[in-house]
Each structure stands twice: as C-alpha cells, then as structure tokens.
Amino acid sequence: MTDITKETMMPPRSFLSQDAIQLFYRLLAALLICAVLAVFSDSFLSLGNILNVLRQASLTFFIASGLTLVVLTAGLDLSVGANVALSACIAGTVIHKTGSPALGILTGLACGGIVGLLNGIMVTALRIPSFIATYGMLWVLNGLTYWYMAGETLHGFPAGFRQIGSGYLFGLPIPVYLLLVFLGIGTLFAQRTIWGQEIYAIGANPVAARLSGIPVARRLLLVYAVSGIMAGLASIIFLSRLNSAEADIGESLTLPAIAAVLIGGTSLFGGVGTVFGTFIGALILTLVLNGMNLLSVSANWQPLVTGIIVILAVWLDMKTRRRAQ
Amino acid sequence: MKQTLGYLALPLLMAAAFTTEVRADGETIAVFTKNQTNPFFQTVRVGADNMAKSLNGKTLQYIPTKPDSIPEQLSQIEDVVVKKPSAIVFTPVDYKAMVPGVEKINEAKIPVVNITDRSAGGKFLSFVGADDYSLGLETARFLLKTLGGKGNIVIIEGVKGSLTNVDRVRGFNDAIKENPGAKLLASQPGNYQRLQALQVMENLMQSNAQIDGVLAANDAMAVGAIEALDGANRKAQVIGINGTKEAIDAIKSGKLLASGDYNGFAQGCLGTMMAIRALRNQPVISEIVLKPTVITKDNFGPFDVPLEQRTCPTFEDAGKLGAK
C-alpha cells in the first residue's frame, strides 16, 4: 500500500477543523478563569505568577502529552505516575553513584521508555486491554519502587542539574522552554505526520485502520513507548525541581495527568483530541489550584472545586461536540 | 500449616534447649505498620526488630502494599490469625475502621499491643504512642519563639480530614493564637506531598510579600517549601514534622529550623518490649504517651545516627518516658 492511497483515505487533519472549535472553547474557559482570578486577586496577573503557573503546568503537561497519544488510540496508561516515581528514583541513584547528570538523565528516559514498551507489548502482543495492562504495571512499578527505596528518600543533586527544573534563561523558567518545545513537537507529530494521522485513524476505527494497511501493532507500541519516555522526562524535571526523589510521588501525578487530557478535550473513546488541548487542560487545572491558593480558599473546598471543574469540562465537551456533529 | 507448626514448636524447642530460668524465648512478634512510604514507619519497624533481637525474639512485618489500605490490613489480620504469632504489635491504618480487625485478633486470643495511632476499640495489653496535637503545638511554639513571638505565618496542611493532620494543624493554630504579634496569612493543603507543598508555597509567595515562618505538617512538605523559597531567593523559618533523615540533614545545613519527632524508633522498641514482657509474665506498662521532641540544631545528635545503630530505651527508661 502506498502513501498516496493513505493520503486519499485520510485527508490531513486541518487545524481549522472541529478540533479547532473545541480548542477555542477551552481557551475561552481558561481565559474566563484568568479574568475571574484577576478581578479577585491583585497578585494573579503579575509576571511572576504567570511564569509560576506555566512552570507548574509544565510537569503535568509532560506526563499528559504522551498520555494524549495513548488516549487518541482509545487506550489509557494508568502507570504514568508510578513510572515517574520509579524513573526518578533510579535516575537519582545513578546521579548519586556516578556524579554524572547526563548519565542520570539518559537512565531516567530509558527507564521510562522501557516501561512504556512493556505496556505496549502487553497491549499488542498479549492483547490485554490497556486499562488492565497498565493498571497491573502500576502495581508492579509501585512494588519495585517501594522495595528499592525501603522508606528512604534521595536528596541533594548537583547545582547544574538543578537548573533544568529550577533555572531561568532570559527571564523564563527552563521548564517553560521545554514545555513549548514538546508542545510544538507533539502538535506537529499528531497533526502533520503520517504516523500521527495513523494514530487518529486507529483510535477512530481500529478495524478500518488495519484494513487500510496501517501497522496497528507497531503504532500502538510507539504510542506507549512515547508515553513512557515522557514520564521519564517528567521524572528528570521532578528530580531537578524538587532536589529529591521518594517512592510515593506516583499517585499524586497520575490523576491530574489524566484529568488534563480529558479537560483538554481528548475523548476516552479515541480518535478525537489534540496535544494543544491537553496543554490547555493542564493550564486550567493549575490555574484553579493557583487561584485557590492566592484567594486562601479553605483546604476543605479545594478537592471539591477541582472535581467539579473536571466534570464540567467533560460534560461541556460532550455537549458542544454533539451540537457540532 | 507446616510453617504454623514451626512457629508453635520453636519456643518449645528453645525452652527445652536452654533449661535456664528464662521462661521462654524465640517468640515471633507480628508487627503491623501503615505503609512502606512514610519513613516514620521504617523507624518503627527497625525499633521493633532491634528490641526483638535483643530479647531473643523475632519479628514478622505486615505492611499493606497500597499505603494505608483498610481492606489490605484486614486481610493481613486474617492471615495472621491463621499463622498465630506469639503476639502482635499493631498500628491501625485507620483508627476506627480497623476495630473489627482488632476484635478478630482478640477472638483468636493473640496478645496485642497498640502503637502510634490509638485504636477506637478492641482489647490491648498496652498502648505506646504520642499525640499529634502536642507535636504541632510544640514545634509551632519553637518557631514562634525563634521569631520573637511575631511575624507572618503560613501553614501547609497534610491530607485534609486525616487524624494526624487535624491534630497537628490544631496544635499549630493554638500556638499562633498564643502570640498576639503573629499573623496567620494562609492555611493551604499540600497533602503531605513535596511537589504540592512546593507549588503551594510558590503561589503563596505571589500574594504575600512577607512570609516569616512556615509550619508544614510533615518534613517532605517542609523541604518542598524550602525549595520554593530558595528558588525565589526568599528567606523564612520553616519547621516540619517526623524527624526524617532528610530533615536532620536540612537542620544541620541550617535550611530547616526544626522538625517535631514522636520517636517512631522508641515506639517500635517499647511496643515490642511490652508484647514480649507480657508473654514472659513480666509486668508491663499499660500506657506510654511519649513527649514530642523538637529536633533543632542544638540537639540533633542522637537522631543523626543510622537507625540500625540506635539503642532502644530500657524498661526503666520507659517508665520515665511518659507513662501514665
């Protein structure tokens, strides 16, 4: 099967499609939240706070960006947070033992990637539903990390390495540059490459995708590996920003990442959504928590408000999509 | 089954082998803790191990794989009732929800000592613990004393609604109220997580130009808050709770003002001691509520020792450590 026939079966997804309309709604929601916060808090619109929000959103985005591709294929990766925890602990050990941040970074990315590949193999070769395969993987990773760390924490990393997560370049936090780079790569990959288009096609209709000659298994393997590598990247940022690693960070990272993907408009049923939407999703989640901190909203209300935002976002999404169809 | 017989036979064999006045030893003590993630419980387990070894007994550790999981601890109790250890040293993952579990242990007639969190029900030989309220109160008092009784304070809370958090934060607040010059700017949740505490601190620094003191409900959050302060080139006195190795290092390097400790190591030691003493028909102390220690740069020495090398308190010390 040649590329030409693929092109005719799947016209390239234009940015001005239905996805664009959805993105517009999301941006609007984010701006609305910003406007409300700007009215009630003097410090919200300060440059410091805006950079703050972007840097905080970046960690969730890195995890959620790879996850977006998985969800686009109608899969789910529940192991991302546990993967971040294991990768951070292993990368941290390598840096401590060798004194080489470069080696640590490579190890962290490799560890994340290997976990992702294993997830991919379970989903493709063993045909285990992704929800179950990655849920099992979550336990395996937690077990390994708890055993490996034995209740200890790793802390204290070289100053140069700490720059990745905490440093600034021309007044912007370095994670914000990485955020822009991966947002660009992710968007181009999904919208402008054949592989990206094939991922959408697999999510929309796996049978049709296979019949039209798309190597479904290989693309799925790729998608899970990318999700794992992005978890590995997040583990490096985490390590560098917090100057420490501990076994129990996973649980607090997985659900916000999934929420960012969903708030960003990527459908759990596959085939619909964008990486840019996920960025907006991560931004909205961060804005809500940032705003509640600035306004000193009682600790009791914070989980409740976050929960309502997630539900509202997904409901609005389904409503606007139905109308658009 | 074979294993069960082994455990039952072991004390008998040992007793037969050493026909001295030692009544029995080689007891197996099942130690239940809440999770593998909080370093506090690691100190409890090592303390229990140390004490058991020094008394010629041994421990079996029961830890839920999912932190603080109620169903998992319940099924571990079912396992242990079948396995019949000599005695149990028990920390409930939830002080109310685990009461039926404790009743199962009572029905199986296995002697049990309660440590750390006080169970809402069931029969225990002894309770060894400390209270979170005085831990919060004493650490916060130390912070305010250092600040001269005044200044802008923020609290970073743990998991909302958890008993430890409610009591610690109540202690923090009471200490602040004792100082009319001190002002509480915000009390925000960090859920005992380092990253969340760091982000909350970053956010709070945006809306508060002057923060003098930070009261964090555990050490991980305290260290997260310090990272945020460092990142913004700002200074504040920070305290944490738990006396982790990381906190001791931070106190040594002058980054952390203090950490409250309720001595998990001693809890593990004393819990196991009481269990074994009861088995040997020696007197036990029915309730030991340890006083909190505020670890500072002046007294961190005894805490800066690897766990394995720490020494357990003696029974005589236990009497002085806060027995009622």
- The answer to whether the beta carbons of residues B115 and B267 sit under 8 Å apart is yes
CA atoms of A57 and A78, how far apart (whole Å) = 19
User: What average pLDDT does chain A have?
Assistant: 89
As a whole number, mean pLDDT of residues A260-288 equals: 91
User: pLDDT value at position A309?
Assistant: 81
Q: Which residues of A sit within 8 Å Cβ distance of B?
A: 41-44, 46, 48-49, 52, 56, 59, 139, 142-143, 146, 150-153, 155-156, 166, 238, 241-244, 246-249, 252-253, 289-290, 292-294, 296, 298-300, 302-303
For the residues of A299-319, what is the DSSP string, one character each?
TTTHHHHHHHHHHHHHHHHHH
Neighboring chain B residues of A167 at a CB cutoff of 8 Å? none
* Torsions phi, psi for B293 (to 5 deg): -110, 130
CA atoms of B24 and B37, how far apart (whole Å) = 35
Give pLDDT < 50 ranges for chain B: 1-23
- Pairwise pLDDT comparison (A14 vs A219), residue with the higher score: A219
Neighboring chain B residues of A59 at a CB cutoff of 8 Å? 195
Q: Assign residue A75 a region: left if phi > 0, alpha if psi is -120 to 50, beta otherwise?
A: beta
Determine the residue of chain A that is closest to B223 in CA distance: A242
**CA terminus-to-terminus distance, chain B:** 41
Q: Helix, strand, or coil here: B28?
A: strand
- Is A16's pLDDT higher than 70? no
Neighboring chain A residues of B39 at a CB cutoff of 8 Å? 151-153
- Is A38's pLDDT higher than 80? yes
* Torsions phi, psi for B65 (to 5 deg): -70, -35
CB contact under 8 A, A153 and B244: yes
As a whole number, mean pLDDT of residues A177-193 equals: 95
pTM here is: 0.81
**B70-81 as b/e, with b when 16 or more CB fall inside 10 Å?**
eebbbebbeebb
Q: Please report how the helices A216-242 and A174-192 are oriented relative to each other, as an axis angle in degrees rounded to 10.
A: 170
Q: Nearest CA of chain A to the CA of B250: how many Å?
A: 10
- Is A324's pLDDT higher than 70? no
Neighboring chain B residues of A44 at a CB cutoff of 8 Å? 206
Q: Nearest CA of chain B to the CA of A95: how many Å?
A: 18
- How many CB pairs lie under 8 A apart between chains A and B? 104
Determine the residue of chain A that is closest to B197 in CA distance: A242
Determine the residue of chain B that is closest to A288 in CA distance: B203
pLDDT tens, position by position, A221-255: 999 999 999 999 999 999 999 999 988 888 889 99
**CA terminus-to-terminus distance, chain A:** 31
pLDDT classification of A268: cutoffs 50, 70, 90: confident
Task: Please name the member of B37, B41, B185 whose beta carbon is closest to the beta carbon of A247.
Answer: B37
* Degrees, nearest 5: CA angle A283-A162-A115: 65
Q: Which among B192, B226, B254, B252 has a CA at the least distance from the CA of A242?
A: B226
Q: Helix, strand, or coil here: B181?
A: strand
CA atoms of A268 and B9, how far apart (whole Å) = 57
Q: Nearest CA of chain B to the CA of A192: how many Å?
A: 35
Distances, alpha carbon A36 to alpha carbons A23, A42, A78, B106, in Å? 20, 11, 33, 57
User: pLDDT value at position A323?
Assistant: 59
User: pLDDT value at position A322?
Assistant: 64
CA atoms of B51 and B239, how far apart (whole Å) = 31
User: pLDDT value at position A301?
Assistant: 82
- Is A85's pLDDT higher than 70? yes
For the residues of B131-165, what is the DSSP string, one character each?
-HHHHHHHHHHHHHHHTTTEEEEEEEE-STT-HHH
Neighboring chain B residues of A243 at a CB cutoff of 8 Å? 223, 227
Q: Nearest CA of chain A to the CA of B185: how many Å?
A: 8
User: pLDDT value at position B321?
Assistant: 72
CA dihedral A190, A257, A204, A7 (to 10 degrees): 0
* Structure-token pair, residue B281: 């028909």
CB contact under 8 A, A151 and B188: no
pLDDT tens, position by position, A137-146: 999 999 999 8
As a whole number, mean pLDDT of residues A110-132 equals: 96
User: pLDDT value at position B229?
Assistant: 96
Task: Please name the member of B39, B185, B191 whose beta carbon is closest to the beta carbon of A153.
Answer: B39
pLDDT tens, position by position, B250-305: 999 999 999 999 888 999 999 999 999 999 999 999 999 888 899 999 999 888 88
